[in-house]
Structure 1
Amino acid sequence: MKKLALALVLVLAFALPALANPFVDVPLNHWAYDAVQSLAAKGVIIGYPDGTFGGNRALTRYEFAQAIARALGYMEQYVDEAGFASQDDVAMLEKLVQEFADELKSLGVTVDDLKKALGENSQAIKALEDRVSNLEKYAEPVKVTGEFDVVYTAYAPADAAAGKTDVSLSDETTLTIAADINEYTTAGIELIIDDTFSTPVVSADNFYIEYQKDEWYLKFGDIGLDAIGLGLVLGEYQPNDDDYDLDFEGFNVVYTPEDSDIVWKLIGAPNDWYTLRAEWEQVGLGVTLIPESTMIFDATSDLIVSADAWTDFDEEDVKLTVEGAYGVLSGTYAAVGELWFKASDDVDFTIDAHYVTAGFTPASSTASPSDFNDDEMGFGVAADFNLSGDEDEDKWTLSAEYDWAQQISTGTVTTNDIGATLTYVPSDAVENEQFVLDFDYSLNTASFVVFGGYEDYDLEVEDENEDAYLGALVQYDSATSQLVAVGRLTYKWLEENTTLTIEGRYDSAWTASMPVSVYGEVEWAMADNTTLTVGYEYQTWGADEDWPDDFAIDTDRGIVDTAGTITAELDVTF
């Protein structure tokens, strides 16, 4: 058998062939006849459509890349045959792959193909991966995605008191632009155009510039971070009301020196707060400036020095976190702690406590960045129980908690609550299917709220092209004697990409008319990324129109007006 190296040299020197049999223009007495026949039999060369080899014709890079790709395929198929190719053969093939990486990529040769033929640690594989990564990243340096949404709204009956009388046509176009500036820098912005059918209003949001290289990470614009520490100084601060604890317009700078264990962070929301923080191992130290007026050292401002630490005691089933802070200008202070531990495979506990003096700025300011209230001390205990057996069985979980707090200055108990949630998910559950029983009781007011509901029970219709689900929830608030109930039927025609949803609602506290609200809609996925929804709602329901994402107690449920609302919405994403 000819060596692979010789085969590739012959391909390079003579041409790209075609048939597994000798070609009409390759004589039997030609010195390369055996090599050409061997390569053709293996499918490495296939020649031209007219049955010729074209031995005297110049070979293009793409033709040669095709030969390399077929050689890789052959090696992959017979890689386990002893003595097939020497290390020199493989080395030569690797060099060829690196040289012709772009052409091979265009022919569909993947990194997995090369790994099978050349091994996991091949330099050729790394070269192809790098080139593919660069091509994919910079082939389209600017990417635009977005959504176009237009809504027609009418009222029958109208409700003048609620301001629901006139027919309207509204629209919103959102364009999200993301650009790869270079290897280290990206930028993006979101443009929103409202009411293009009347008086267009253009605004911009979520602008950012992000840079990362070596020891530095910088981001300016829209910042989303988790709470720092336990959230005593920087916790539930959400001016943009997004999914992060800290979601704001500002800056985030992280410096990680290569020869040091300390990580430096500079984070801030202009005119709200600025933090310089150092972290190493399991300790963090920070200095936070919170100006609340144009004068930085105004009486309502503060300079907060804080420290937090965490440890798992070299165990997997326990973690202790503590955080303390002192207000330099106000002389106030605060401390919080949290202990989590796993009592067994099916039970874990969380114990927390806090002490925050009056006037502690992060907790008392109008736009508080803290998770806590000032002038308050308290504690909480929570437990999670897995009541299920094997993973394949139905899943039952129980969560229970007790929270207590009082004002330090007056001794008034502000929180004294017990809560419990039981959740059941069948072993054969469809997406989102669950049963929830939620109970909250206030010892202060001797009142309670109880919620029970089943989401997306599969009705198991006989037609495999159709799905149907049933859901229901009931909630009772003893403080207001309000009982609300909702029933929902969802029916899907899979082939037509159409979904019918019908909801019936009851609110015992509604006295202006019948305590009943009805909602129905048809959603049709007309094409990829294009959806038309037509709906009608009689008497507006206070909670979200969509089935609540948080399937638990929600005190906003109930009827809010007598309008009958007709909507037609076209939504296009791209």
Structure 2
Amino acid sequence: MDSLAQINEYSLEGQTSSMPQVTSVSQLSDVQPTDWAFQALQSLVERYGCIAGYPDGTYRGNRAMTRYEFAAGLNACLDRINELIAAGLADKVSREDLAVLQRLQEEFAAELATLRGRVDALEARVAELEANQFSTTTKLSGEVIFANQIGIDEDDALDGATEATFGYRARLNLNTSFTGEDLLRTRLQARDINTVSSDTYGLSYGGSSDGDFELDDLFYTFPVGSTQVLIGANSIGCDDYVVSTISPLDSSSGGSTSDFGFPTQYAMGCTGNAGAGLIFQIADGISVDLGYSAEDAASPAQGEGLFNGDYGAIAQLTALDLFGALDWAFTYVNGYASGGFNNGFAEVANTYGTQANLKFDWFELGGGVAYTDFNGLGANDSSEQWSYQFTLAFNDVGFEGSQVGVLTGALPWDEGVEDQSWLTEV
């Protein structure tokens, strides 16, 4: 039984007198506090407490309402009266109030019908979304990069011969949150882009899985008080343990196409695959970031495992939005590679780097420098390397969210070597 029929039934039982004639409000665009309908609803609200939409729980009857606002309030009172009747408390509702509700329903029948139609449509949309959503806790996103390359070797450059290639990288990201503050990241990746292999100047999205999807990222991060904890099980590098690398061009998805857009201190001497990290928030925008990754954490073999094999450890002091415009970080990385970072001998590497980025309304200007001390365990196997870079990024060029960047700098070179290799990318 709908609310109108139910109220009609109760209002007609034992009714001995008719309701006094009142002025119709059906033609009014707004309902004023002086209108009979307004005063009637206000009286119902005060007796049955059917509107509690204000923070203090009061009904403020000192302003005009549109007919649809009034209908929403009337609908709330209808629901409240029906609840009392359904609970067997019909004696708590006076027949005069039932008669008033009947009259109000007649005066605002069109608005009530529209309101209920909108509610039904909204409920249907919500039901459809719930039935078709991917997950209540997981968001799925994807990304595909297509790359066309033209390579020229030293001999072919003289006669103009070139080799053109076409490749791709596809990623599926599954971001899951159980509490709203944590994040479980699972990333699947397939790629087939053959390119120069280098930690500092190869393609940032290069590599090949022969077209097969592989587990690329798997980590879980969650807060403990003001400290952020990260546990990684696959493909976790030193940069995953820090709040920011500071460089605006470090992303393989939307930044530099070369690995040089990624500050050198996160690549030189840092190996790893699985591990854990902590981010200590010591002040607003200032944090101490720590992390440790092992290359073969799951292997029980001698010279491998979580602490006996190749590893990378990072400590970074990060400061964001200093003076409202400056991001800065100082980074230290310690790493060990049994096969060496630059040759076949075991090496320990200590890398020190700093990066800064100054942000203006529509562009960003930054740069950084890194120094690495390689201590080889073989004869005459130690070296020192330097590198530096400058970045310039223009934001929202053409459309919101876009970025045009310029990157230039010196690739890592051995100290004492006069010739330096430069890379410039636009």
TM-score (norm 2): 0.39
Q: Which has the higher strand share?
A: 1
TM-score (norm 1): 0.31
